[in-house]
Every structure is written in structure tokens, then in C-alpha cells.
Structure 1
Amino acid sequence: MWEIEIMPKYKGDTLAAAIENGLTALQLDRKNAQIKILQQPQPGFWGLFKKPAQVEIKRQAVSNAQQATLPEQQPEGEAAQPVTQRPAATRPQTRFDKNYAVVHDLATYLQNVLDQLGITATLKVAMPTSKYVYIDCQTDKEGLLIGKHGRTINALQQLCEFYLNNHGVNYVEVTVDTADYRARRRVILSDLVRKTARDVQMSGQPVHLDAMPAAERKQVHSEIEVYDDLMTYSIGNDPNREVVVAPR
């Protein structure tokens, strides 16, 4: 499994303002920060096409002194043995390697989308297998990112799936999460399944649930399987595909 971290970008009318905005947001002193300049401010033409300065800032992990390493000492009486360099073995590029490259670009793409939405976030991306990607968005604007009834975060998740498909990475499940929303949603969904099952058993009529992502539909199908007198099926197309719970 590999992980990457995409840091938020900070903007300002000037480079100094962009850096100050980032330091303030992260509550850092400049001496404790690593600053990467992404874009110099551009005045544009008569106020048109003006672009702000952009920087990327993260906490300085270790000092330069700590980064220095001492040479390994040889035991007394033993001479250092020469090290023979062997050429690195080459191997063919695997599907995992190809997916890794596209997913890395996806993280940058999603970061840019969040910037356009006014959401400053640090993205932590994990890919435990070549068929699953988990993106955790760490932000103080969880409500804005999730949206009403999860519509925004679900739309972002589907956007990520479209991105992968358009870049030749197919049949890969993507989860976009923030503040453990997906775990909390699974609990809520389980309660909804139990209530819906009771309603269908009592009324004998099918119930249409609101449209939901594929992973949530799969959860509903799975949990209804324990009811011998009920069945489920899906109708519609994404993103409006919904689950129907019905009597057998």
C-alpha cells in the first residue's frame, strides 16, 4: 500500500500575503515552515486575467542539523570493505504502477476542484490495492465539503471515478471522506434499512430510497438479505440510481 499527501494551497494578492495567509491558517512561525512557491502574482491586462500568488506550506519536520547523518564507524582493527554496486533489477510496469501515476494526478486534480469551491484541505490518499483508492480530506469546512444530505461529497467522489475512467483506470472503487463521514453514514444507513424493512413488512408496498452512491447501495442490498420476505433492486442511472426495498 502506498500513501501520498497533497497540501492545501494558499493565495494572496502578493507573495508575502499568500505566505502570511498560509502561516496564519497553520498557526506556524516562518522559521518552522517549509514554503514552496507555486505561482507568482500576475497583474493581468487592465484588471483582466489577474492571477494571485500561490504557495504551498507545511510544517518543518526536522532541522538541518537533525537531517545530517554521521558516517558509520568501523570496528577497531577492521578495514572498511569496498562496496560493489550492482545494477538495479528492472521489472515490467505493473497495473498498480500505472494506476499509481494516474491516482497521483487525481489527487492534484481534486485539490484544484476544492480550491475552486473555497475549501482549503489537506488530502491524504491511500491505495491499499490496485482496485481501491481512499481519499481523506482534512479541512475545517467539513459541512461545506459534505453538503446537504452528502450531495457535494458524493458528487466529488463520482467526479474522481470519472477522472480515473477517462484516464484508462477502470473498475477502481474510490471513497472520498472527511471527518469520518462515511463511517457515520454507514451507521445511519443501517438504521434506515431496519426502519424501511419494518415499513415494507407492515404495508406490503415497496419503498424507494433516496439516490445514493454504489457503496451505500451495496450496503442496503447486503443488509436486506437477512430478511427472507424482502428483496431489493436498483433503478435509474448514476448519480440518481436508487434502491427499492420490496416484498418477495
Structure 2
Amino acid sequence: MKKLVAIGKTVEAAVKNGLSQLGVEEDRVQVSILEHPSRGLFGLFGSKDAKVELEVKPDGIEEAISFLQEVTGAMDLQVKVERNEGSDHTTINLTGNDLGILIGRRGQTLDSLQYLANIVANRHSDKHLRIVLDAEKFRERRKQTLEALSDRMANRVIRSRREVVLEPMSSQERKIIHSWLQSNPHVKTYSQGDEPNRSIVIAPK
């Protein structure tokens, strides 16, 4: 963790000087007072400034990004990292060439990396963090594919009046289908089976 010693006429001024040098807000640091200010003899001789030590608290998301950069570097992949803050999660999108190996079959490798990135982030945070990891906007393309699949399978169920069981999917992908078909008045959805082979069933209402 990054540390810095700063001085100032008062403790508050010393902290402000340290924050300015570090380029962070006060809630990102742990402050230790090393020396209180003193006025000296008659307020003139031997006066001392306040001295504080600022230690930057680890940022869970930044730690996760560093982890991902190490992994991609070990795979000889050149990636650019984009970080976008959402209301309840942080999206990390990786861009670059030949990232198919990071995505894997139907996003399975990407899901595994996302799982590990979340572990790293929460290990370095005192509050729960949620990371959604993407590569070349794969998640959005996959979402569109799943929504189209949902419509096709729902129409089949409506025509045949028989339920359809989809292939096993991650909880993230199942949520997309549940949400997409929630407003369909003719079908209902539910999940069956155990992880990692849990599947969605589309059934007539």
C-alpha cells in the first residue's frame, strides 16, 4: 500500500497537503498523526509543524483490474481496460485483439475470470463489491442472442402447448431469460437441476 508523510501548520493542513500529493480523497486514506504541532518558546522559537502519515487504502476494483492485467499478460494478450460504475456493480470491459480465448465457449472462461476477479476485489474491500467482467462487449451480444432464443422457444411452447427445457446455463444467463419472458402472458419460466447443470424450463401458462 502507498504511504506518504506530510507536514503542515496544523494536523488538518498536513492531511490536506498529503491528500493533494496523493491525488485521492480523504475517505481513501488511513491517517496516523506522527507529531502534533507546537508553538515553541514564547510562540517564536522551536515551533514544530504537524506531521502525519497517510496510507492509501486498497481499492478492491483496482486490485481486480491488476489481477486481470497479470492474467492477460501471462497469456501474451494486449488488452485495454475500461471501468464503468453502475448503481449496484462495476463493469470491467476488456478490449484488444484475439480475445476469444478469454471468452471461451459461450462465455465460460469469461465467467470463471469474473468469479476470480470478484474474489480478489472483495478480499481488498471492507464492503461487498460486484464486478461484471466483459470482453469486446460479448455480454451484450450474448444477451441479444439469449433474448432471440427465448422468443423462438416461447413461440414453440405456445404452438405445441408443451414445455421446453433449455441447455444448462449460468445464473447470469438464466436471469436474462427469466426477465425477458416475464412479460409474456402465454408462458412461464422456472429453473431445474443443480449447478452447474441448472436449466431453464419454458412452460405454457
Do Structure 1 and Structure 2 share a fold, with TM-score over 0.5?
yes
1:142 to partner: Cα distance: 2.3
State the distance in 2 between where 1:170 and 1:213 align: 25
Aligned to 1:31: none
User: Which digits, 9 at most, give the CA deviation of each residue in 1:129-186, with x for residues without a partner?
Assistant: 4x31111111101222222222222222222233345556675432212222222222
Contact 2:60 2:124 (8 Å CA) reproduced: yes
1:240 to partner: Cα distance: 3.9
User: Which residues of 2 match residues 1-248 of structure 1 at below 5 A?
Assistant: 87=13, 88=16, 101-129=59-87, 131-167=88-124, 172-248=129-205
Do the aligned partners of residues 238 and 109 (structure 1) sit closer, same or farther apart at CA in structure 2, a change above 3 Å counting? farther
State the distance in 2 between where 1:136 and 1:106 align: 12
Q: What are structure 2's unaligned runs of at least 5 residues? A: 1-8, 20-24, 30-55
Do the aligned partners of residues 91 and 165 (structure 1) sit closer, same or farther apart at CA in structure 2, a change above 3 Å counting? closer
Q: What are structure 1's unaligned runs of at least 5 residues? A: 1-83
Aligned to 1:10: none
Instruction: State the TM-score, normalized to the length of structure 2.
Output: 0.63
State the distance in 1 between where 2:192 and 2:76 align: 34
The residue type paired with residue 116 of structure 1 is A
State the distance in 2 between where 1:113 and 1:107 align: 10
Matched residue of 1:227: which SS?
coil
State the distance in 2 between where 1:235 and 1:161 align: 26
Contact 2:64 2:118 (8 Å CA) reproduced: no
Instruction: State the TM-score, normalized to the length of structure 1.
Output: 0.53
Identify the range of structure 1 (104-113 vs 174-183) with the bigger mean alpha-carbon deviation.
174-183
Identity of aligned residues (%): 27
Do the aligned partners of residues 213 and 165 (structure 1) sit closer, same or farther apart at CA in structure 2, a change above 3 Å counting? farther
The residue type paired with residue 80 of structure 2 is T
State the distance in 1 between where 2:125 and 2:139 align: 27
The residue type paired with residue 113 of structure 1 is V
1:91 to partner: Cα distance: 5.8
Do the aligned partners of residues 237 and 110 (structure 1) sit closer, same or farther apart at CA in structure 2, a change above 3 Å counting? farther
Matched residue of 2:133: which SS?
strand
Do the aligned partners of residues 166 and 92 (structure 1) sit closer, same or farther apart at CA in structure 2, a change above 3 Å counting? closer
CA-based RMSD of the aligned residues comes to: 3.3
Matched residue of 1:210: which SS?
coil
State the distance in 1 between where 2:193 and 2:163 align: 16
State the distance in 1 between where 2:90 and 2:78 align: 21
Equivalent pairs counted in the alignment come to 161
Do the aligned partners of residues 216 and 141 (structure 1) sit closer, same or farther apart at CA in structure 2, a change above 3 Å counting? same
Matched residue of 1:194: which SS?
helix
State the distance in 2 between where 1:201 and 1:138 align: 40
Contact 1:164 1:170 (8 Å CA) reproduced: no
Do the aligned partners of residues 204 and 180 (structure 1) sit closer, same or farther apart at CA in structure 2, a change above 3 Å counting? same
Do the aligned partners of residues 206 and 163 (structure 1) sit closer, same or farther apart at CA in structure 2, a change above 3 Å counting? farther
1:105 to partner: Cα distance: 0.7
